[in-house]
Homo-oligomer: A and B are copies of this chain.
């Protein structure tokens, strides 16, 4: 099968993304898409995933690679208290990347975007030595809402999580140890994290004071909230320990010779939502700590992590 032209590939991707099926003034195929964006605030972010840096093609299928980067972008939009609307995708494709793989990559992007009603409206394809994917996501915030910023944490806020962190890190550990067969479920979390978008919407609806999605690790993102707001965050390891799946994850950590707290506190890419709130705790959220005067992030009951130079810890306090 000879490789189709860029035009043919774009025509096919345009079909997969189905941008023509929604009521866009202009979708894929002109110099730019034309978007009916309402008078409310528009939110925009961009994220990139590069082969060998963010993923390995022997570990993740093109579908996984597409859905995972899409999830990362959508999580950023939700973390602003916004609803995702449109995506633009660029990709550098290596010579051995087949049309079937490109189709799967596109379907991975679309399957994740479909979960929240976002639509791919444009992009660009190039060749390249390694697979590199870049996604820009746009979203809107209702006219009666404000964006939820990292800087909004107030002293006295409860610190809440939408779910347990560390499952993606656990999956990566299983893959690295060549024990993927044994740990299928957590490996799936690494390949294609399930982002709890509806919980993020609940957080926004409940008017949390600050919100962030956990891309780089709970501690790292907690530091972002702390630094942006000029407050301290105190996290109770005992409250994390009480969360569903913690014991399961602990068993898996033991079996893989890993420290569960490395996973939970510094593991990235789960895109769990971390927020602080002075209002009622949204249904299904987990309280893990509080916002205190001062600076930095304190984790009560866990020894210091090797990988967090900016964090102070207190053991068994």
A residues whose Cβ falls under 8 Å from a Cβ of B: 25-26, 29-39, 41-50, 52-54, 75-77, 79-80, 82, 86, 88-92, 121-130, 132, 134, 136-139, 141, 147, 149-151, 211-213, 228
**How many copies of the polypeptide does the oligomer hold?**
2
Among candidates B34, B43, B122, residue contacting A32 with C-beta atoms closer than 8 Å:
B43
B-chain residues with CB within 8 Å of residue A212 when the two chains form the complex:
31
B39→A134 contact, CB < 8 A: no
A90→B134 contact, CB < 8 A: yes
A interface: dominant SS: strand
What are 26 A-B interface contacts by the 8 Å CB criterion? A26-B80, A26-B147, A29-B150, A30-B149, A30-B151, A31-B45, A31-B75, A31-B79, A31-B80, A31-B150, A32-B76, A32-B79, A32-B139, A34-B42, A37-B37, A37-B41, A39-B39, A46-B88, A46-B122, A47-B90, A48-B91, A88-B136, A92-B132, A126-B132, A130-B130, A132-B132
Among candidates B31, B79, B90, B125, residue contacting A76 with C-beta atoms closer than 8 Å:
B31
A52→B121 contact, CB < 8 A: no
Q: Bound state CA distance, A44 and B295, in angstroms?
A: 40
Least Cβ–Cβ distance between A143 and chain B, in angstroms: 11
Q: Bound state CA distance, A109 and B121, in angstroms?
A: 23
Q: Bound state CA distance, A90 and B31, in angstroms?
A: 20
B-chain residues with CB within 8 Å of residue A54 when the two chains form the complex:
126
B-chain residues with CB within 8 Å of residue A44 when the two chains form the complex:
32-33, 35, 86, 88, 121-122, 136, 138
Q: Bound state CA distance, A228 and B137, in angstroms?
A: 28
Least Cβ–Cβ distance between A272 and chain B, in angstroms: 13
B-chain residues with CB within 8 Å of residue A37 when the two chains form the complex:
37, 41-42
